[in-house]
């Protein structure tokens, strides 16, 4: 992000990898209007970590394609 002048607060989707890979939706974030980079506060990141290490079941599961650039 080159400038912090063009940012907005919004709910975002993020991909995280702690003990496993997961997608978390509706995360409070600051988003750059130019490049789309998302910034999550320390408190929000800790909340996500706690969620992913909890016993809570995901609201849905999605299949994801995996590519290996080394094989191209």
Q: Tens digits of per-residue pLDDT, 43-61?
A: 999 999 999 899 999 999 9
Backbone phi and psi for residue 46, each to the nearest 5 degrees, phi listed first: -65, -40
The answer to whether residue 66 sits within a structural domain is no
Extended strands (E) in 3-56: 7-17, 21-32, 38-39
User: Does the structure show a pLDDT above 90 at 20?
Assistant: no
- 0.85 exceeded by pTM: no
The answer to whether residue 65 sits within a structural domain is no
For the chain, percent of residues with pLDDT exceeding 70: 93
The answer to whether residue 70 sits within a structural domain is no
The answer to whether residue 67 sits within a structural domain is no
The answer to whether residue 64 sits within a structural domain is no
pLDDT at 14: 81
The answer to whether residue 63 sits within a structural domain is no
pLDDT at 44: 94
User: Does the structure show a pLDDT above 80 at 4?
Assistant: no
Q: How far apart are CA 58 and CA 48, in angstroms?
A: 13
* CA-angle at 65, arms to 44 and 54, nearest 5°: 35
- Count: domains in the chain: 1
């Amino acid at each position: 992000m080159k400038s912090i002048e063009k940012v907005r607060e919004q709910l975002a989707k993020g991909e995280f990898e702690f003990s496993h890979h997961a997608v978390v939706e509706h995360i409070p974030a600051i988003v750059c209007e130019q490049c789309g980079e998302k910034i999550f506060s320390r408190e929000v990141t800790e909340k996500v970590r706690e969620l992913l290490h909890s016993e809570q079941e995901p609201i849905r599961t999605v299949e994801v394609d995996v590519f290996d650039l080394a094989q191209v």
